[in-house]
Amino acid sequence: MKNFENKKVLITGAASGIGKLMAEKLAKRGAVVFVVDMNLEAAQTVVSSIKSSGGKAHAFFADVSNLESLKKLKSDISALGLGLDVLVNNAGVVFGGEFEKLPLEKHLTTYRVNVDGLVAMTYLFFDDLRKSKDANIVNLASASGLIGLPYGTTYASSKWAVIGFSESLRLELLERGIENVHVTTVCPSYISTGMFAGVKAPMLLPWLKPEAIVEKIIHGIEKDCAFIKEPFVVKWVDLLKGILPLKIFTFVNKLLGVSTSMTHWKGRA
Ligand SMILES: NC(=O)c1ccc[n+]([C@@H]2O[C@H](COP(=O)([O-])OP(=O)(O)OC[C@H]3O[C@@H](n4cnc5c(N)ncnc54)[C@H](O)[C@@H]3O)[C@@H](O)[C@H]2O)c1
């Protein structure tokens, strides 16, 4: 994706945090943004602010964990007749806590939103992306998709699934000679949006600023990057996991405070 001028960009979870910032920044670069969220009122506020700065945007309700809701979204967006160039699967939830003390429903909701929702969105909008001359699928995973995260078992494992899905799809498109659809997997550590309020950031992994990470994501889409891993140390996780004996790797995680970072997670009030 060389530039965003007049490109049609759909962002899930765009009513707050990373999704909202991306929507605002891409609209400034000339994209037409479909702001999708289960919080329609907040999505409409984002759209109003984009429009008042001269940008183009449309607000849509969707609960990505509900297939009927996604089918309606697909038909509402198709009705606009604008097509789609970039799909940003950003909506996500986290419920921290000791595994068995968290209600099962919270664990399962994490998968329904972070995994089922992301796969369903990609499936439903894939035909539109194939019709675009130059399309991108951008999946928000996490650094926790590369490493175990105590007190965030289903969140981390949902992100492992996102990475596995994104990478498999990227390779499948290459195998099938589909050159116009690129897949980017985003793996950041903790970002100060509020989703992980209460967390103690590990050593070497300071809180990322939303503004900075969104710029990296946009740059990554422009370059059709397969992976965006931030901060720098996250790029080393796979290598370290591969070469260090498990006991030492586990010890290093504990030493850096990765294993205990989620102990006091509060999330959004
Ligand atoms: N914040 C971090 O530290 C961090 C780190 C790594 C990855 N991520 C990932 O980045 C993405 C965005 O995170 P954020 O910090 O901006 O979160 P956020 O909580 O600020 O925003 C998430 C948005 O998703 C929406 N949403 C939640 N469930 C939904 C559903 N079922 N259907 C539709 N919309 C729904 C919410 O209403 C909200 O607007 C998530 O996928 C998250 O897992 C975040």
Q: pLDDT tens digit string along 222-264?
A: 999 999 999 999 999 999 999 999 999 999 999 999 999 999 9
Distance 91 CA to ligand 1 centre (A): 4
| Tens digit of each residue's pLDDT (9 = 90 or more) over 131-175 | 999 999 999 999 999 999 999 999 999 999 999 999 999 999 999
Q: Could you tell me if the CB of 90 is within 6 A of ligand 1? A: yes
Tell whether the model's pLDDT for residue 120 goes beyond 90: yes
For this structure, is 190 an active site residue? no
Distances (CA, A) of 62 to 1, 87, 252: 26, 14, 41
Using the atom order of ligand 1, give the atom closest to the CA of residue 69. Answer: 32
- The pLDDT, as a whole number, for residue 56 is 98
Ligand 1 touching residue 65 (CB < 6 A): yes
* Alpha-carbon span 229 to 216, nearest angstrom: 9
Architecture of domain 8-256: 3-Layer(aba) Sandwich (3.40)
Ligand 1 neighbourhood includes 62 CB (under 6 angstroms): yes
Q: Are 265 and 198 in contact (CB under 8 A)?
A: yes
Ligand 1 contact via 55 beta carbon (within 6 Å): no
Report the pLDDT value the prediction gives residue 1, as an integer from 0 to 100: 79
Dist. CA 195 → ligand 1 center (Å) = 7
- What pLDDT does residue 2 have? 79
Say how far apart CA 55 and CA 39 lie, in whole Å: 21
Asked if residue 25 has pLDDT above 80, the reply is: yes
- Decide: 193 in ligand 1 pocket, CB within 6 A: yes
190-226: pLDDT as tens digits: 999 999 999 999 999 999 999 999 999 999 999 999 9
Q: Which atom of ligand 1 is nearest to the CA of 193?
A: 15
Nearest of 159, 134, 135, 165 to residue 147 by alpha carbon: 159
- The whole-number average pLDDT for the span 74-87 is 98
pLDDT at 269 over 80: no
175 C-alpha vs ligand 1 centroid, how far in Å? 31
Return the pLDDT at 226.
98
pLDDT of residue 268: 86
Q: Give the nearest ligand 1 atom to 191 CA.
A: 3
* Averaged pLDDT for residues 62-74: 98
Tell me if 96 CB under 6 Å of ligand 1.
Answer: no
To the nearest whole number, what is the mean pLDDT of the chain? 97
